[in-house]
Amino acid sequence: MLTLFEPRSGEVRIQGVTSATNAVVHPWLKAQCTAILSTLPTPAACDAMTQTTLWQVWQQGLSQPITLPKMLPPLRMLLVWDNLAGHYTLDMVLWLIEHGIMPLYTPLGGSWLNMAESVQRIIVRRALDGQSPETPQQIIDALEATAKSWNREPTPFVWGGKRAARRQRSRKRRHALGGSGACSYRPVRQHTGLLKKWLRSCQTTH
């Protein structure tokens, strides 16, 4: 399931495929990125030094920064994708940069940082739970139909967001109990007197 997800709007672009080689992924991604860029406003003109700075700021802190060319177009879009060998293909990376797209790679073992992974799980569950498809095409049709339904009322994604704030407030109101996920709304009083008696009895016995 080729997936391109825009967290700010919640819109997802999906195409079901039977293989995901570079020959399949790269042309699809180029077509989707071109369509997205056509909807964006024309970037404001700025000097070459400012343009380079706008690109370099997204390279700060990366363990494997991309070697950027001296002449850079206006930065128009960020593309976050997994750290796979096919995503480092020179032709693909140069195409992205030439079109003002900065590729950013999730660290090894960190695909959960890619929000497309989250929306994929949602789409797959909605499309296939309780179903018994018999052919790959039936699976593809179900996934693509579910994505169209999702886009009728897409849900924007944010890092943390209100849910994280609620969890933080909840943690402040509750007290975790050791050994399980149970919590109490007030600290459980420790019976230190009984504990001391038990310790004394152990010392007496041994």
Taken in order of first residue, the domains within the chain and their CATH numbers are 2-152 (3.30.420), 174-205 (no CATH)
Q: Which residues, 6 or more positions from 184, have their beta carbon under 8 angstroms from its beta carbon?
A: 174, 175, 177
DSSP code, position 161: H
Low-confidence ranges of the chain (pLDDT < 50): none
Separation between Cα atoms, residue 51 and residue 154, nearest integer Å: 33
DSSP code, position 179: T
CB-based contact 5:79 (threshold 8 Å)? no
Each residue of 130-146: pLDDT tens digit? Answer: 888 899 999 999 999 99
Provide the CB-side half-sphere exposure for 33 (13 A, CA).
Answer: 22
pLDDT at residue 42, rounded to an integer: 86
**Angle at alpha carbon of residue 36, lines to 34 and 39, rounded to 5°:** 110
- Give percent of the chain with pLDDT exceeding 90: 34
